[in-house]
Structure 1
Amino acid sequence: MDREAVGTADLGRLHVEVGQHGRSAVFTPSGELDHHTAELLSGPLTAALDAGTSRLVVDCSNLVFCDSTGLNVLLAARLRAEQMDGGVHLAGMQPTVARVFEITGADAVFTVHDTLDQALQE
């Protein structure tokens, strides 16, 4: 799979890689997405949307924790992307992260894929 890496951000507990794959911006957060680290993902998501990219793919396979602040970052990106006729696709969620989405009902408003490859094929 050809993915062009365009940047990274790191704040100890969270590392975010940003890339491009076709018309999708791809974000790979690794670690803990919470109140203290959410800006590391929020910033690049906002930048992609500001640049006109409306199809955002978040590879959650290395995300080990997500609190309500992290969930709100993803929900805000989803709202903006949908206003641009796009969307946020989540891929490879670990059980502990998936549980947060199930409990809150957020899994019903995102397009969720088992793997990153599946998310990039659409």
Structure 2
Amino acid sequence: MDRGMVGSASKGRLHVEVRRHGVSSVVSAAGELDHHTAELLREPLEACVRDGDARVVVDCSQLEFCDSTGLNVLLGARLKAEAVGGSIHLASMRPVVARVFEITGAGAVFTLHDTLDSALAD
């Protein structure tokens, strides 16, 4: 399977990598997703959608924190992807991040996966 690295970026408390895996793009976020770092995730998500990636999987396994700004980045990317027939999937959320999605009800609008492997297998 193709697991080619497309790009990566860091800004203080957040590191983002993008790689291809078959027909999916995998965007991995590690660290804290908040008001100060959200743009670092927004840009590659929107680029994947703009480039016509039908399926984008966000690997949340190393995401330690997500505030409302981070949640809005993910929701915005989902809307843009769906507008062009694509989808955003979230994989491997830690309990602290999953709680934000549970409290806000945002988990109901995403396809959630326990592991990255299960997200890529679907």
Question: Which whole-Å CA distance do the structure 2 matches of 1:51 and 1:28 have between them?
Answer: 18
CA contact (8 A) 2:49 2:86 kept: no
User: Deviation of residue 86 (structure 1)?
Assistant: 1.6
Distance 1:41 1:70 in 2: 8
Matched, 1:98 2:83: no
Root mean square deviation, CA, Å:
0.9
Residue identity in the other structure for 1:107 = G
Q: Which residue of 2 aligns with 1:87?
A: 87
CA deviations 1:62-114 (Å, max 9, x no partner) are 00000000000000010111112221100000000000000000000000000
Instruction: Name the structure 1 match of 2:25.
Output: 25
Task: Give the 3-state SS of the residue equivalent to 1:35 in structure 2.
Answer: coil
Runs of 5+ unmatched residues, structure 1: none
| Secondary structure of 2:37's aligned partner | coil
CA distance in structure 2 between the partners assigned to 1:20 and 1:2 by the alignment: 6
Q: C-alpha deviations, 1:11-46, integer Å up to 9, x for none?
A: 120000110111111100000000000011000011
- Tell me the secondary structure at the aligned position of residue 28 of structure 1: strand
Q: Separation in 2 of the partners of 1:52 and 1:86?
A: 8
TM-score when normalising by structure 2: 0.97
Work out the CA distance in 1 between the residues paired with 2:41 and 2:87: 16
- 1:108 match: 108
Normalized against structure 1, the TM-score is what?
A: 0.97
Counterparts of 1:84 and 1:23, CA distance in 2: 16
Alignment of 1:1-122 (within 5 A): 2-122=2-122
4+ residue runs over 3 A deviation: none
- How many residues are aligned here? 122
Q: What stretches of structure 2 of length at least 5 have no aligned partner?
A: none
Separation (CA, whole Å) in 1 of partners of 2:46 and 2:80: 9
Between the aligned residues of both structures, percent identity stands at 67
